[in-house]
Amino acid sequence: MSGALTVREAAREDIPAILDMLVDDDLGKTREDASEAGRGIYDAAFDRIAASDNVSLKIAELGGEPVGTFLLIVIPGLALKGMLRVEIEQVRIASTHRGKGLGRKMIGWAVGEARRLGAGMVQLTMNKSRTQSHRFYESLGFTASHEGFKLYL
């Protein structure tokens, strides 16, 4: 397997590969359902993403093989003089491909895309237990300047 990392819009057929990457993770394995029975949940979620103008599910490939994924959300707002933000979430590089610079390339692509869309900021939240991934984002120039709060409903 070789070649450059490419990033494209995910299609419905990519759901199993993306789900594999979401599960292939210390936190993801306890909270996702990759069984055939669980598939309907993810099909419906994909439909909601596809119907949204501001949300985009991406898949990154190396030589045609899926190796990464993330969600890119464009957030308009009034604050900061109407600054457009891009949020990136659900970031994964397949465990067999981690530590080889692919995450850096994939997030670099996302930042470039945010610029292209006219955003003035890229933001993300991450579970506090992911201490190694905190270092990953800091090495890419992100600053842990805010506290994130979640209220599960």
* Piece of the chain touching ligand COA by CB under 6 A; list 52-60, 75-83, 90-98, 113-121: 90-98
Six-digit token string for 117: 């869309």
Closest CA to 112 of 75, 67, 72: 72
Q: Binding string, 105-144, against ligand COA, x = CB under 6 A?
A: ---------------------x---x-xx-xx--x-----
Find out whether 88 and 122 touch, Cβ atoms under 8 Å. yes
Q: How far is the CB of 28 from ligand COA (least distance, A)?
A: 8
Q: Binding string, 5-24, against ligand COA, x = CB under 6 A?
A: --------------------
Question: How many other C-beta atoms lie within 10 A of the C-beta of residue 18?
Answer: 22
Contacts of 106 (CB under 8 A, 6+ apart): 5, 7, 60, 68, 70, 91, 93
Binding site for ligand COA (CB under 6 A): 25, 91-93, 98-104, 126, 130, 132-133, 135-136, 139
